[in-house]
Amino acid sequence: MLENPNKTYVIAKGWRIAAVAVWFVYGGLGAFLMWKVNQNADADMASQVIGYLMGSTLVIFFTGLLINAFFYRFEIGDGSIRSVDFWRTREMRLADIKGYQYSPKRNGTLIFLSESQKIQVMMFFENPKDFQQWLEANLKNLSISPSHQDMAAALSDERLGTSEEARRAQIDRARKWKKLSWVVAPFLVWGMFYPHPYDAVIWVAVLAPVAASGLLILFPALVRFDAPANSVYIPVSPLVVMPGLILGMRALLDWNVFDWHHFWIPFAAFTVCLFMLYFALEGDLRKRPGLMLVCLLYCAVYGSGAVVCLNGILDKSVPALYSAKVIGKRVSYGKHRSYYMTLSPWGEVTEQKEYSVFPNIFQSRPVGQKVTVSIKSGALNVPYYYIY
């Protein structure tokens, strides 16, 4: 006999507030990146593709999470359960349900199983105890919790040692290294909003994914690309995703690439090398095509940002200086104010073009006055410019 029929569970208010906060940070960042590219009339195809790729990925993914945080509901009827989100509704007859199990891949996720289908449910409800009581009273638990599953799997892995004591010692060591993920949030703030000293920010962002791969070498049996917070496994995805976003943002905001022809080879080298490193070391990644695609996307963001930023900070070339006349000026208003100047032809540029400039240059150079365009060759042979 089904207890407490006709119940509806929605996402808890705290998780909704968290979803809004996350959307403002990451969705707003994505929107800002696309707006920034759109405002730069002089941006070429390569920079537009990179900017829109990064921005749209962030906006679409986190907007989807936000919508579902307010729309999702789980319904228990007289003879069935229903999982309703913004895109689809999934239903399963209670008589057909064999039981439920905790997902070994996603913390806080339940999987309801029948002979022909399964329904995944995130347990972030307003009345979690009530839901848990109904679950335990009416359905069979087909698995132990994900953290217990992970611990049992680790303790049976002979790569961690020949005895249970040795394996537990390895797990304790890995847990200490796992605390590295705690530095991701302050590093994100440092890299995006106060990137000083600048070279240190760039080098930390460039080397973080390589250091994360070192964890795969130190603890090959205890590292996953992603893992739940309470798992014994170390997740390295934060050390790939966050540095890549920082490098991509700094590349768009801080550097003006003049010619993209020599960009693509080092970009491909950075992207492919990082991806192949994780592909070779992380066996779990090879079993999950969807996660593999996400990893490749973030490696591409990392590669583009690393090339542009390293090209600039390592550059020791002597700048080529050109003189140009200010033909027009405009200010773009939005979340951030941007300043643009239209310059007369100079050097190899045979027509008037609009360029992004710093506020002090914009304010101190009236229309009709001469400015200097400085072109540097770049450490990776990707030319970039400054206007002063």
Q: What domains lie within the chain, and their CATH numbers?
A: 7-143 (2.30.29), 155-313 (no CATH), 320-387 (2.40.50)
Overall pTM > 0.75: no
pLDDT in tens, 27-65: 888 888 787 777 665 556 666 677 777 778 788 888 888
CB proximity list for 83: less than 8 A, separation 6 or greater: 72, 74, 89, 90, 91, 119, 120, 121
Question: Taking 90 as the threshold, does the pLDDT of residue 381 lie above it?
Answer: yes
Please report the pLDDT score of residue 214 as a whole number.
76
Could you tell me which of 183, 327, 320, 195 has the C-alpha nearest to residue 252?
195
Please say if the pLDDT value at position 325 is more than 60.
yes
Q: How confident is the model at residue 181 (pLDDT cuts 50, 70, 90)?
A: low
Residue 195 CA from chain centroid, whole number: 19
pLDDT greater than 90 at residue 184: no
Q: Are 285 and 225 in contact (CB under 8 A)?
A: yes
How large is the greatest C-alpha to C-alpha distance in the chain, in angstroms? 85
Q: What percent of the chain has pLDDT over 70?
A: 85
Nearest to 65 by CA among 101, 105, 111, 11: 11
- 209 pLDDT exceeds 80? yes
E strand intervals along the chain = 7-10, 73-76, 80-84, 89-93, 97-102, 109-114, 118-122, 223-224, 234-235, 320-332, 338-343, 353-357, 370-376, 384-387
Q: Do 106 and 231 contact (CB within 8 A), yes or no?
A: no
Q: Which two tokens stand for residue 209?
A: 């994914």
